[in-house]
Amino acid sequence: MEAAAIWFHLGPFAITSVVATTWGVMLALTLFCWLATRHLTLDPGPLQTTLEGVVSAIETAIDAVLPGRAQLLLPFIGTLWIYILISNLLGIIPGLHSPMGNLSVTSGLALLVFFSVHWFGVRSEGVRRYLRHYLSPSPILLPFHLISEVTRTAALAVRLFGNIMSLEMAALLVLLVAGLLAPVPLLMLHIVEATVQAYIFGMLALIYVAGAMQSQQNLERNEEGDGNG
């Protein structure tokens, strides 16, 4: 996979096609959401019904994993799902490449998930009580906890990058080898793969955050059980 082309420089920053595509996605999402949610009514039309269905589905999915915290996690997890899905589907359009085919992008998202896990964990229970779960059930496991934090973040970034990059590369190879119409089934597979990868990334992020918030609750529950015993 070749490096992303630099479109222009903004001061010391070299703006690549990936960043420009991301801005395009952001601009399109902003315009769409602003236009679609300007006149929401209690008697919804088809577009409002679709938007409410999407948001409600995301909220329900979060609530199923972490009951009672859906309102808190909805902006972060929901944006992950929407952004990754749209970015993945951009790869279908000829001439455009999915930003998720760039390791810098997926690494950035993975790093955000990494910090979000700790942010929500600390926000939920406080620094000291959150950090205590690294010593549970035994301080001996602290190195393994730390290694797990790093490796799962790296896996998160590499999994999404590898799948999308390989998907686009496979489509390109098939197009070069078999002609114009042969990649059509592969493009249909691209839609499924893009959706699945977005879902996996968002769901893993949700599970990590939920683990950070629930691990503290489990620790407290265990301590309460020991105290009662």
Partner 1 sequence: MEFDWTTFTLEIINFLILVWILKRFLYRPVLDVIARRRAGVEKTLADAKRIEAEAGEFKQRCERELAQWEKDKEAAQARLREELAAERGRLMAALETSVAEERERRRVLDERRQHDLQRSVEEQGIAQGAAFSARLLSRVATPELEARLYALLLEDLRGLRAEDKRAVAEAAAAPGLQLRVQSAFALDEGRRAELARVLAEATGKTLPVEYRENPELLAGFHVSIGPWILHANLRDELKFFSGALRHAG
Task: Report the residue number, 30 or 218, with the smaller CB distance to partner 1.
Answer: 30
Please tell me whether residue 68 binds partner 1 under the rule CB under 8 A. no
Contacting residue, 5, 14, 147, 150, with partner 1 by CB under 8 A: 14
105 touches partner 1 (CB under 8 A): yes
Nearest by Cα to 118 from 134, 141, 139, 140: 134
Helix (H) or strand (E) run with residue 6 in it: strand 6-10
DSSP 90: G
Under the criterion CB under 8 A, does residue 72 sit at the interface with partner 1? no
Q: Can you tell me the distance from the alpha carbon of 19 to that of 4, in angstroms, rounded to the nearest whole number?
A: 9
- One residue of 5, 28, 37, 60 binding partner 1 per CB under 8 A: 37
| Main-chain phi, psi angles of 38, to 5 degrees | -70, -40
State which of residues 61, 66, 78, 213 lies at the interface with partner 1 (CB under 8 A): 78
Q: How far is the CB of 74 from partner 1 (least distance, A)?
A: 6
User: Within the chain, what is the greatest distance between any pair of CA atoms?
Assistant: 71
Both tokens of 151, joined, read: 């490796």
The answer to whether 18 contacts partner 1 (rule: CB under 8 A) is yes
Place of tokens 């455009």: 96
Shortest Cβ distance from residue 41 to partner 1 (Å)? 7
Beta pairing, strands 6-10 & 13-16: antiparallel
Measure the CA–CA gap between 67 and 208, rounded to whole angstroms.
15
- Total binding residues toward partner 1, as defined by CB under 8 A: 46
- What are the residues binding partner 1 (CB under 8 A)? 1, 3-4, 13-16, 18-19, 22-23, 26, 29-30, 33-34, 37, 40-42, 44, 48, 51-52, 55-56, 59, 71, 74-76, 78-79, 82-83, 99, 102-105, 107-109, 111-112, 165
